[in-house]
Amino acid sequence: MRVLVINAGSSSLKYQLLDTKTQEVYAKGNCERIGIDGSFVGHEEDGGERQRLEVALPDHKHAIKHVFEILDAAGFDEGKIEGIGHRVVQGGWYFPESKVVTDETLGWVREVAPLAPLHNYVEADVIEICREMFPSIGNVIVADTSFHYGMPEKAWRYALPRHVVDKLHIRKYGAHGTSHRYIWRRTSEFLRGDVHKLVSCHLGSGASLSAIQDGHDMDTTMGLTPLDGLIMGTRCGSIDPATVFYLNRVGGYSIDEIDTMMNKQSGLLALSAVSSDSRDIEEGMNRGDANCTLALDMFYYRTGQLIAEMAQAMHGFDTMVFTAGIGENSSTMRMGIARELAWLGVRVDETSNAVRSDEPYAISADDSAVKVLVVPTNEELMIALDVEELLG
């Protein structure tokens, strides 16, 4: 089935057209700086050279129009696209699994948008645009929170007054669920079913862990919002919640300023005082920059801490997988985290860890108590497979 996968952000829109049977990617690209000066579309076909098209993108409707014009020119007109899958960041209490787009399900995306206001409103608008422009093509909503929704209550409930929690739907929702779900599926295939308690480590600019026991999510590190859990590129991760009150009352910062500080000015960027990009920080560490060294040490420590927490959710773990931008590409990060977990018997082979591959591969040493793998994630394929299941 030929599926167009769309991932809309506040000022961007990524797309990928792929075949669910052959897993061939016909075309992919991104529309950047939507509604901002200097907008452009980056596009490539069949793994070829990437083209940059300078075009005016005043809104997402114009972006979608350009995407379909590009695909049409490549031989994929409306009649050759059999379904559209939309990544939605927050599914709230309505999406324990993916759902076909209807007036009702689209309304649900908007209803839960206050939990992810920078994403859900735009994603709902894009879904609506696709329905209006291409009414013959079915659409499917794939929420990042769906995989986590079935966690045990002891993992998702917060110790706040019940009437407040119930009224405002406050709970741990998590994120990156589509990636974690794919990692379980691909790891199980690679190990031929010899995996039961997996800690999935999605480490990128945004980062989260998931405890997956026999395919079921038992816990995750992100909470009500993606701010919780690990130290990330610009997010602070878990801190004492009273820090917010202190910054407001004593520091004089407004709630909006604190929100911006914790989401966009903290994390590795703040610790290193160099960059939010781990590659720049690793270069700084190699130059002897003390701030960069501390940033990486804290990242290893905090990630190791929370991997142990995920293992606790399953009373042990037999497999650990690194994925996403940092997890797939930084041998330094993987080794640093593994050394934090040496007391649990985690051992990584240095030669294997230096390998780069687009396919899953093992990096654990022969004497490791836990299988350690690198598995490239593929959220687009996971979304497309959901489209095929619901529309195919």
State whether 220 and 353 are in the same domain: yes
Residue 170 domain flag: no
Residue 21 domain flag: yes
pLDDT number for residue 45: 79
Q: Answer whether residue 330 shows pLDDT above 90.
A: yes
DSSP β-bridge partners for residue 282 = none
Q: Answer whether residue 295 shows pLDDT above 80.
A: yes
Q: Picking from 21-25, 29-33, 287-291, which range would have the lowest pLDDT averaged per residue?
A: 29-33
Residue 129 domain flag: yes
Q: Picking from 124-133, 162-171, 212-221, 358-367, which range would have the lowest pLDDT averaged per residue?
A: 124-133
Q: Answer whether residue 222 shows pLDDT above 90.
A: yes
Any alpha helices (H) in 34-152, and if so which ranges? Answer: 60-73, 103-111, 120-133
State whether 94 and 213 are in the same domain: no
> Is 288 labelled a binding residue?
no
pLDDT number for residue 327: 95
pLDDT number for residue 227: 92
Residue 173 domain flag: no
> Is 326 labelled a binding residue?
yes
Residue 167 domain flag: no
> Is 38 labelled a binding residue?
no
Any alpha helices (H) in 169-236, and if so which ranges? Answer: 177-190
**Average of per-residue pLDDT across 354-361:** 94
pLDDT number for residue 197: 98
As to burial, measured by CB atoms within 10 angstroms (0-12 exposed, 13-18 middle, 19+ buried), residue 61 is: middle
Angle at 51 between CA 50 and CA 54, to 5 degrees: 145
> Is 86 labelled a binding residue?
no
State whether 281 and 358 are in the same domain: yes
What is this structure's pTM?
A: 0.91
Q: Answer whether residue 385 shows pLDDT above 90.
A: yes
Q: What mean pLDDT is reported for the chain?
A: 93
Residues of the chain above pLDDT 70, percent: 100
Q: Picking from 40-49, 52-61, 192-201, which range would have the lowest pLDDT averaged per residue?
A: 40-49
> What is the side-by-side strand order in the sheet with 25-32?
51-54, 40-45, 25-32, 12-19, 2-8, 83-88, 139-143, 99-100
Judged by DSSP in three states, 129 sits in helix
**Average of per-residue pLDDT across 233-239:** 94
> Is 203 labelled a binding residue?
yes
Q: Answer whether residue 61 shows pLDDT above 90.
A: no
Structure tokens at 81: 């696209």
**Average of per-residue pLDDT across 307-315:** 97
State whether 370 and 229 are in the same domain: yes
> Is 350 labelled a binding residue?
no
> Is 35 labelled a binding residue?
no
CATH number at residue 75: 3.30.420.40
Q: Which helix (H) or strand (E) segment is 203 a member of?
A: strand 197-203
- Confidence band (pLDDT; 50, 70, 90) for 306? very high
pLDDT number for residue 73: 85
Residue 211 domain flag: yes
- Name the residue with higher pLDDT: 46 or 159: 159
pLDDT number for residue 301: 97
> Is 87 labelled a binding residue?
yes
State whether 138 and 197 are in the same domain: no
Judged by DSSP in three states, 333 sits in helix
What is the distance between the alpha carbons of residues 299 and 307, in angstroms, rounded to a whole number? Answer: 12
User: Residue 53's domain spans which residues?
Assistant: 2-143
State whether 134 and 266 are in the same domain: no
Q: Answer whether residue 46 shows pLDDT above 80.
A: no
User: In the annotation, is 144 catalytic?
Assistant: yes
Active-site option among 144, 217, 219, 228: 144
Closest alpha carbon to 3 in 125, 108, 145, 98: 98
State whether 347 and 201 are in the same domain: yes
> Is 14 labelled a binding residue?
yes
- Confidence band (pLDDT; 50, 70, 90) for 67? confident
Q: Tens of pLDDT along 167-184? A: 999 999 999 999 999 999
Residue 99 domain flag: yes
Residue 148 domain flag: no
Q: Which domain-ending residue is among 110, 143, 176? A: 143
Other CB atoms within 10 Å distance of the CB of residue 296: 22
Query: What region, left, alpha or beta, does residue 142 occupy, with left being phi > 0 and alpha being psi -120 to 50 degrees?
Result: beta
Overall number of domains in the chain: 2
pLDDT number for residue 40: 85
State whether 216 and 100 are in the same domain: no
> Is 327 labelled a binding residue?
yes
pLDDT number for residue 101: 96
What is the distance between the alpha carbons of residues 253 and 120, in angstroms, rounded to a whole number? Answer: 27
pLDDT number for residue 115: 87
**Average of per-residue pLDDT across 48-58:** 82
State whether 331 and 232 are in the same domain: yes
State whether 131 and 197 are in the same domain: no
- Confidence band (pLDDT; 50, 70, 90) for 13? confident
Q: Tens of pLDDT along 78-104? A: 778 899 999 999 999 999 999 999 999
Pairing mode, strands 83-88 and 139-143: parallel
Q: Answer whether residue 42 shows pLDDT above 90.
A: no
**Average of per-residue pLDDT across 292-319:** 97
CB 30 within 8 A of CB 14: yes
What is the distance between the alpha carbons of residues 226 and 116, in angstroms, rounded to a whole number? Answer: 9
State whether 91 and 205 are in the same domain: no
pLDDT number for residue 321: 98
State whether 125 and 227 are in the same domain: no
Q: Answer whether residue 272 shows pLDDT above 90.
A: yes
Helix axes 278-286 and 290-314, enclosed angle (nearest 10) = 130
As to burial, measured by CB atoms within 10 angstroms (0-12 exposed, 13-18 middle, 19+ buried), residue 242 is: exposed
Q: Which domain-ending residue is among 143, 160, 184? A: 143
> Is 279 labelled a binding residue?
yes
pLDDT number for residue 153: 96
